[in-house]
């Protein structure tokens, strides 16, 4: 397995600064090439992982997949490697300029399963904390206090505030409730030389605090492209610098 991932060590997408190493590691996507099998409800196929992160995988695939499809992905590059599959959900499918068909997958598995999976073995080889790689719900977030505009289908824009920000999502403060499962677009910024960050997000929780008469809503980011991930990392590093200054 190690031979499959060594080439990826040369290409980490966030090498511009040494600030906030622990947070940056959650943003790193490792470019690589190794073989996996993908099992769906009624069929299976072989694919190649072309990059990997603590959030998910990007696959080179033989056939188009639908958003929301569930795949069980198993590493097959080493016949002596016996760890089981990881459950993933398809975020997107697209064709590259080179003509390859690719799919972006996010992990949708129990943290206990991810913690003993083949994915963890790969990430651990990169120097990630062996204990905390998949503690995503406890992952560090940065205090933000940034204004954000929310765009909801069929509704006008809503003004809100980001109270904390992380790689996987954010906590929003709003005057109006948001429905759980609702998909929206967040427009964050611009801030101190950083352009507007627009990301798709899904509402996970929303609770009302009568003491201050605000709604507090947790959202999870959906299908971040490389350029969005890069800009998000710049926001986080900027916020971290403000926090410690």
Domain limit, last residue, from 137, 168, 198: 137
> According to the model, what pLDDT value does residue 196 have?
95
If asked whether residues 44 and 68 sit together in one domain, one would say yes
Higher pLDDT, 101 or 205: 101
Question: 216 and 174, same structural domain?
Answer: yes
List of residues 6+ apart from 140 with CB closer than 8 A: 22, 23, 166
SS3 35: strand
Domain that holds residue 60: 2-137
Same-domain check for residues 35 and 118: yes
Last residue of a domain, one of 118, 137, 156: 137
The average pLDDT across 191-197 equals: 90
> Do residues 69 and 160 share a domain?
no
Answer yes or no: do 158 and 229 share one domain: yes
Q: Are residues 148 and 128 in the same domain?
A: no
Question: What confidence score (pLDDT) does residue 110 get?
Answer: 82
Q: What's the CATH code of the domain at 164?
A: 2.40.10.220
Q: Which of 91, 112, 137 is the last residue of a domain?
A: 137
SS3 87: strand
- Claim to verify: residue 9 and residue 125 sit in the same structural domain: yes
Listed in sequence order, the residues at least 6 apart from 196 whose beta carbon sits closer than 8 Å to its beta carbon are 187, 188, 189, 190
How far apart are alpha carbons 170 and 146 in whole angstroms?
Answer: 11
59 phi and psi angles, rounded to 5 deg: -115, 145
| pLDDT (0 to 100) of residue 78 | 65
Rounded CA-CA distance 170/178 in Å is: 14
Percent of the chain with pLDDT over 90: 35
pLDDT higher than threshold 70 for residue 128:
no
Averaged pLDDT score across all residues of the chain = 78
Q: Closest Cα to residue 75, out of 123, 28, 13, 126?
A: 123
Tell me the per-residue pLDDT of 4-20, one tens digit each, with 9 for 90 and over: 433 333 333 333 333 34
On whether the CB atoms of residues 207 and 163 are closer than 8 A, the answer is no
For residue 242, what pLDDT is reported? Answer: 61
Same domain for 146 and 131?
A: no
Q: Three-state SS for 75?
A: strand
Tell me: do 112 and 189 sit in the same domain.
Answer: no
Indicate if 191 and 125 belong to the same structural domain.
no
Question: Is the domain of 124 the same as that of 159?
Answer: no
The total of structural domains in the chain comes to 2
pLDDT attached to residue 53 = 81
Dig out the tokens for 160 from the structure: 């809100």
At which residue do the structure tokens 């990007």 appear?
58
How do residues 43-95 score in pLDDT, each as one tens digit? 999 999 888 888 899 999 999 999 999 999 998 866 656 778 999 999 999 99
Residue 108 and residue 8 share a domain: yes
Note whether 239 and 144 are within 8 A (CB). yes
């Amino acid at each position: 397995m190690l031979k499959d991932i060594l080439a990826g060590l040369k290409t980490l997408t966030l090498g511009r600064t040494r600030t906030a190493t622990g947070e940056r590691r959650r943003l790193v996507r490792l470019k690589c090439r190794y073989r996996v099998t993908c099992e769906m409800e009624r069929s299976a196929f072989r694919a190649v992982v072309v990059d990997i992160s603590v959030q998910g995988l990007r696959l080179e695939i033989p056939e188009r997949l639908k958003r929301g499809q569930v795949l069980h992905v198993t590493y097959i590059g080493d016949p002596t490697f016996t760890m089981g599959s990881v459950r993933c959900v398809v975020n997107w499918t697209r064709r590259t300029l080179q003509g390859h068909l690719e799919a972006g997958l996010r992990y949708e598995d129990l943290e206990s399963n991810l913690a003993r999976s083949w994915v963890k073995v790969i990430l651990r080889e990169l120097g990630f904390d062996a204990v905390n790689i998949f503690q995503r719900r406890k992952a560090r977030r940065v205090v933000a206090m940034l204004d954000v505009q929310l765009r909801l289908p069929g509704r006008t824009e809503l003004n809100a505030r980001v109270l904390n920000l992380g790689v996987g999502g954010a906590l929003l403060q709003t005057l109006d409730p948001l429905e759980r499962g609702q998909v929206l677009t967040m427009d964050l910024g611009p801030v101190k030389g950083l352009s507007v960050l627009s990301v798709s997000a899904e509402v996970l929780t929303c609770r009302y605090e009568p003491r201050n008469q605000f709604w507090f809503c947790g959202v999870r980011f959906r299908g971040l492209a490389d350029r969005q991930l890069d800009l998000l990392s710049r926001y986080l590093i900027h916020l971290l610098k403000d926090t410690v200054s």
